[in-house]
Amino acid sequence: EVQLVESGGGLVQPGGSLRLSCAASGFTVSSNYMSWVRQAPGKGLEWVSVIYSGGSTYYADSVKGRFTISRDNSKNTLYLQMNSLRAEDTAVYYCAREMGGSGFDYWGQGTLVTVSS
């Protein structure tokens, strides 16, 4: 059974850092396209970052230069390192698997990141 479990969210001050983790089971992270998608309170879905199976990475303009996506193949886990956090980064962060270019077929339950002083 495919499962994605996020962790690492919490309350952080503006300018601070946080690392999110997404532990996968039932499939191999490194063989798939994996993304982070976030949703601010009461708002819509916003794509954040992707790491392709070949290792290429891409970021939304809103996080480029501040966030880094990576994976640990030995742990079958996806990460999102978030630096220089801002209030507008407050959101539930989901990790999601892309089904060979045909949409995100599996999502985690989400982890809440709150940036506030």
Partner 1 sequence: SYVLTQPPSVSVAPGQTARITCGGNNIGSKSVHWYQQKPGQAPVLVVYDDSDRPSGIPERFSGSNSGNTATLTISRVEAGDEADYYCQVWDSSSDFYVFGTGTKVTVL
- Residues at the contact surface with partner 1, assessed by CB under 8 A: 35, 37, 44-47, 50, 58, 60-61, 94, 99, 101-105, 107-110
SS3 content of the chain, % helix, strand, coil (to 5): 5, 55, 40
CB of 98 to partner 1, least distance (A): 8
Kindly state the tokens that stand for 30.
Answer: 């490194």
CB of 49 to partner 1, least distance (A): 9
User: For residue 105, which of 20, 37, 30, 6 has the smallest C-alpha distance?
Assistant: 37
Residue closer to partner 1 by CB (options 103, 117) is 103
Residue in this structure with the two tokens 């997404």, named with its chain if needed:
22
CB of 4 to partner 1, least distance (A): 9
